[in-house]
Amino acid sequence: MEPVFSIIFSLLVLLFSVVIHEVSHGLAALSLGDMTAKYEGRLTLNPLKHLDFFGSFLLPLLLLVITFGKGPLFGWAKPVPVNPYNFRDQRWGSLKVALAGPLSNIIIAIFFGLIIRFFPLEPVFFDFFSIIILLNFVLAFFNLIPVPPLDGSHILFSILPEKFNYLKIQLSQFGFLILVLLIFSGAINFVFKFAHFTYLWLVGF
């Protein structure tokens, strides 16, 4: 695949993958009794309803420029609004909603991974599907990092005992700074390595 087509396709896959991720959060909240995302018009696959300037545009472009189009690519959309006080399951509702986003990306990756594994494909489709798999695994694993505002922090906060509330406060205050440092220091590379390993395992290489 030509590099320019690969970049364009990767950006489109990233865009719709983050949209599906956020809509999955909203649908999970709706299933638990919270109508907030529905009322805000966020239960739609229309990207314009979900785009975030930094996570959907600036960060992916910076990564493309910094790595000359050869490095890892990821981003995020605006978080879907939810009100956990509306959840029927007050104990585990937030955990379920937080898990819904990464699980949607993992399901997408597994679907296309099984196609590669069990069906003969033309090289161009192999390349297209590989990009879909890798980007969705990256999105899932990246969002599972337990640092606000990522889903992993909501998962962590849901299972931490109340005696660790001070940790929740500290992470909430400095989470975005920690996240930026992880991204631009290169420490985030473990996400891409794990995504690549999982891709190879899934498709049977």
Residues assigned a catalytic role: 22
Q: Which residues of 12-35 are buried (b: 16+ CB within 10 A; e: fewer)?
A: ebbbbbbbbbbbbbbbbbbebebe
Q: DSSP string of the chain?
A: --HHHHHHHHHHHHHHHHHHHHHHHHHHHHHTT--HHHHTT-SS--GGGT--IIIIIIHHHHHHHHTTT-S------PPPP--GGG-S-TTTHHHHHHHHHHHHHHHHHHHHHHHHHHS---HHHHHHHHHHHHHHHHHHHHHTSSSTTSHHHHHHHHHS-GGGHHHHHHHHHHHHHHHHHHHHHSTTHHHHHHHHHHHHHHHT-
CA distance 150 to 140: 10
